[in-house]
Structure 1
Amino acid sequence: MQVCLSACLPQQAAAQCDASCDSLFEASDCGSSWWERSTLSGDWCGLRSCLEDKGYTWDIYNTNFYSGITTGGLEQTFRYRGRVDMLLSIDGKKVGLWDGLTFNLHGESVFGSSINQFSGTILPVSTAQILPDGNRSVTALTNVTFTQALSESVLVQAGKINTLDGFVQPFTGGANGIDGFQNLALCFNPVLVLAFPYSCFGAGMVVLDENQEAVFSAFVYDTNNTPTVSGFDTFFDNGVSTFVSGTLPTKFLNKPGHQMVYGLYSSGTYNNLDPNPYFDPSGGLVLANPDKTGSWLLAYAFDQALYVSPDDPTHSWGVFGNLGIADDNPNPFNWAANIGIGGSNPLGNRPQDTFGIGYFYTGVSEPLKQLAPILLPLRDEKGVEMFYNVGVTPWCHVTADLQVVEPSRERADTLLMFGLRAKIDF
């Protein structure tokens, strides 16, 4: 039986797709090599291209983690955790609406047992294993937004926003821990965790330069994190978080880089033991500081390429760093910093491979340390992470990850964690 729907395909694509396409997983998918195609399922015998032509672009990937704490932490154990992410982008003009309009949706499902609960750290050693809603298995629609281009340089956005989808710093592999670093302290600055929800209602604007890079953004977010519910029943009932950022693209050493400053102020009421998607510090603590209204943070981030391939500018490696400060209460972290190096394989013989080595230090706030100095003494958290991501095929990447972390819980010894991560793009 032939699966090619020629009525949906451009004439040229339909001509390529013949009776040999009777499975999405054939070695040849309408002329493409199974090993060279960008996704495992290929072009769906032309259907995928047809949908893109009509305005619907799918990005589907499955990520699997097998992680183990070999020494230290709370328990020496290995655990499997998996997740599926489904992203859909809809071009408003192509579906019959108007030019410059885009709809974006992000659904995610996570299952298995997270390694984070055995680490003794206050921040997750694997960010992707706790999203979208902690260590439990769950399915959620975390992003439903519309973006409207007012001009070539100004965009406005509104809806239910997955804040990490657009929070990407070069050479780190992204903020969600799926392609690069896994420890939250190297994915993004931990001073954000209190008042920067993962999935919430929000609206704002972005200004782009002539290279279509964001140089300024300003957003207002609901303080309630609502990844697994609609959020309408708690809509802005605990104030708002205002986030502003400015980025200066640079050309030091005649290579691209960025200098970024961002800040956030929230009018919400918080407690520094309030659990959120990124961490739950309350394990074992029976005391609590009083609730406090208002929280702020200020941070600086940079990245600088040290090498850029003359044949492909997307293949580069360089250095990055972050430094953030925040209020001492209710924010559980009054300062945090990281620095590292990463990017494409520096040897150049495997262009699909990436690597990263980073160090982080997270300063736990004094009010949180003083809550239970005898029952559950806390200290600052610091560590090193290194990874190497092997591009087995364009659609399959396998990553070896090693972390050495001194947990914030003083009763937990310095841990050594080794993990394997396999990501398959469908």
Structure 2
Amino acid sequence: MNHCLAFKIVVRACLACLLFASTAQAGGWGETYESMQENGYSFTGNLTQFGFGVVGGGNEYEDDSLLYSGHGDYLLNVDASQFGLQEGLFFRLRAEHRFGEQLNPENTGSVMPPTIASHLPAETENLYITNLVVTQALSENFALFMGKFDTLDGDRNDFAHGRGVSQFSNLALVTNPAAIVASPYSSLGAGFAILHDHEPLFVFTVMNPTDTTRTSGFDELFNDGVLLTAGLRVPTHFFGKLGHQSFTALYSTQHFSELVPDPRASLSGPGQDVTIDLTNEQNGTYAFLYNFDQYLCRDRQGRGFGLFGRVGVGDQSVNPMRLFLSAGIGGHNMLSRSRRNDSFGAGYYYLDATKDEALLADIARDAEPLRDGQGLELYYNFNICSFMDLTFDYQLIDSVADLNVFDDPTSILGARLNIRL
């Protein structure tokens, strides 16, 4: 293998590992690679707007109003070798902001936001840097990385990921929420990746367990312990079709004396910073995650549809969610040749709430009483042109709030417009 070809393989492998969620477009990381070949850098972005409202059920004392919100995501990738620096050295910078008004959990009864992108990266509308990562590929099978990065890119799934802007909108069908208590949204860390056939096979990270979305993170670095994460994603070919089986384990040494507000999940309304003081303080927590995707149909361009599922197990003494399950179908419209770039999804999730009496009492004291919950999301995404998609979305949520006002499931209807920059 000549030097040029070997280096191209290293570049593709490194980008596949770290940039798989950099764009909503199918095959987006490949386009990123081509752009970096020509210019040494690439810029991608998404401006996503949501119009969602409760159309039935929900809290009978809250208005069923339509709310407008949105999210901006801007990502820059740089190949340092193109500028005379080290070969295999890459830089990644992501900045995010949100705007508008989101649906209130006091109305929907949902712990997890129906439009997760509009809640990130923080409760304010300021622009924050959530990724600033340096990566050094040492070979076509091994890469090191360090810096500030967000955890939404983890738990990759071909049919249920998309950062809430290209596939499902509800957090429960974008990632595995069982890891939220142990894992911050954005913080400093480092790790390595082992790759196979240009795809990440095993990724290990050491991360600061404290969320530092709004700061550089250096002042808080490892003050509250350390978060260790190990993830394995194995490609499969059941029935002659591509699929993946993923296993992730998280362990945090952080001391838990309280549960702090998090934009990814809330037991109270947006902007209501309710901290839940724990009666039984605890050192350390864990989570175990599993997910799979399996294509049922796939063309030569990589478009297709298939099945997906997730299982998450949390430490119920500090995690309000002891078990999480989700499953569904999603992918591209393979029935119409003229609409192959359209996509769809149908997913169901179930949340088994903690049965720890002390934690339940703590939650009921500071927020709404908690019970098991479930939900359904259906969407169809129209590809209007090369840079724009319009998605129609319906969600049915059985509230986790143990209140009589949520006896009837909440129906949510909305539209999402995503513009790729």
How would you bin the TM-score normalised by the shorter chain?
0.7 to 0.9
Structure 2 CA distance for aligned equivalents of residues 218 and 52 of structure 1 = 28
Matched, 1:353 2:342: yes
Q: Is the helix fraction higher in 1 or 2?
A: 2
Please name the residue that 1:326 is paired with: 314
Report the secondary structure of 2:117's partner residue.
Answer: helix
Contact 1:147–1:155 (Cα < 8 Å) also in 2: yes
Structure 1 CA distance for aligned equivalents of residues 411 and 150 of structure 2 = 31
Deviation of 1:272 after TM superposition, in Å, equals 5.9
Alpha-carbon spacing, 1:287–1:318, altered in 2? closer, same or farther (3 Å): closer
Please name the residue that 1:153 is paired with: 141
Q: Of residues 186, 190, 196 in structure 2, which corresponds to 1:199?
A: 186
Contact 1:206–1:217 (Cα < 8 Å) also in 2: yes
TM-score (norm: length of structure 2): 0.84
Contact 2:155–2:176 (Cα < 8 Å) also in 1: no
Contact 1:125–1:183 (Cα < 8 Å) also in 2: yes
Q: Of residues 266, 287, 303 in structure 2, which corresponds to 1:297?
A: 287
Alpha-carbon spacing, 1:126–1:300, altered in 2? closer, same or farther (3 Å): same
| CA RMSD of superposed structures (Å) | 2.2
- Deviation per CA, 1:306-334, whole angstroms, max 9, x where unpaired? 0011x42x101100101111211111211
- Deviation per CA, 1:132-166, whole angstroms, max 9, x where unpaired? 013x3221111000111010011111000122235
Structure 2 matches for 1:72-221, cutoff 5 A?
A: 72-74=57-59, 75=62, 76-117=64-105, 118-134=107-123, 136-174=124-162, 176-209=163-196, 211-221=197-207
Q: Give 1:182's aligned amino acid.
A: S
Deviation of 1:270 after TM superposition, in Å, equals 2.1
Please name the residue that 1:10 is paired with: none
- Deviation per CA, 1:112-145, whole angstroms, max 9, x where unpaired? 11124442221111111111013x3221111000
Alpha-carbon spacing, 1:228–1:286, altered in 2? closer, same or farther (3 Å): closer
Deviation of 1:108 after TM superposition, in Å, equals 1.1
Please name the residue that 2:245 is paired with: 259
Q: Of residues 50, 54, 76 in structure 2, which corresponds to 1:69?
A: 54
Structure 2 CA distance for aligned equivalents of residues 301 and 140 of structure 1 = 30
Percentage of identical aligned residues: 34
Q: Give 1:422's aligned amino acid.
A: L
Report the secondary structure of 1:97's partner residue.
Answer: coil
Report the secondary structure of 1:230's partner residue.
Answer: coil
Alpha-carbon spacing, 1:250–1:80, altered in 2? closer, same or farther (3 Å): same
Report the secondary structure of 1:370's partner residue.
Answer: helix
Contact 2:108–2:397 (Cα < 8 Å) also in 1: no
Structure 1 CA distance for aligned equivalents of residues 232 and 35 of structure 2 = 38
Contact 1:139–1:228 (Cα < 8 Å) also in 2: no
| Structure 2, unaligned runs of 5 or more | 1-23, 26-33
Please name the residue that 1:369 is paired with: 360
Report the secondary structure of 1:288's partner residue.
Answer: strand
Q: Give 2:420's aligned amino acid.
A: D
Please, which moves more after superposition, 176-185 or 116-125? 116-125
Please name the residue that 1:422 is paired with: 417
Structure 2 CA distance for aligned equivalents of residues 89 and 251 of structure 1 = 32
- Deviation per CA, 1:352-378, whole angstroms, max 9, x where unpaired? 100000000011212343336698332
Structure 1 CA distance for aligned equivalents of residues 111 and 257 of structure 2 = 16
Structure 1 CA distance for aligned equivalents of residues 319 and 276 of structure 2 = 16
Deviation of 1:287 after TM superposition, in Å, equals 6.8
TM-score (norm: length of structure 1): 0.83
Contact 1:273–1:332 (Cα < 8 Å) also in 2: no
- Deviation per CA, 1:359-405, whole angstroms, max 9, x where unpaired? 00011212343336698332112011010010010111000010000
Deviation of 1:95 after TM superposition, in Å, equals 1.6
Report the secondary structure of 1:73's partner residue.
Answer: coil
Alpha-carbon spacing, 1:85–1:376, altered in 2? closer, same or farther (3 Å): closer
Please, which moves more after superposition, 288-297 or 386-395? 288-297
Matched, 1:250 2:245: no
Structure 2 matches for 1:378-397, cutoff 5 A?
A: 378-397=370-389
Structure 1 CA distance for aligned equivalents of residues 70 and 216 of structure 2 = 24
Report the secondary structure of 2:178's partner residue.
Answer: helix
Q: Give 2:53's aligned amino acid.
A: G
Structure 1 CA distance for aligned equivalents of residues 360 and 334 of structure 2 = 42
Please name the residue that 1:398 is paired with: 390
Contact 1:65–1:420 (Cα < 8 Å) also in 2: yes
**Greater radius of gyration (CA):** 1
Structure 2 CA distance for aligned equivalents of residues 258 and 51 of structure 1 = 28
Please name the residue that 2:41 is paired with: 56
Contact 1:190–1:362 (Cα < 8 Å) also in 2: no
Alpha-carbon spacing, 1:94–1:116, altered in 2? closer, same or farther (3 Å): farther
Contact 1:272–1:329 (Cα < 8 Å) also in 2: no
Deviation of 1:265 after TM superposition, in Å, equals 0.5
Deviation of 1:410 after TM superposition, in Å, equals 2.5
Alpha-carbon spacing, 1:157–1:226, altered in 2? closer, same or farther (3 Å): same
Q: Give 1:387's aligned amino acid.
A: Y
Structure 2 CA distance for aligned equivalents of residues 50 and 198 of structure 1 = 29
Q: Of residues 254, 261, 272 in structure 2, which corresponds to 1:275?
A: 261
Report the secondary structure of 1:102's partner residue.
Answer: strand
Structure 1 CA distance for aligned equivalents of residues 201 and 388 of structure 2 = 33
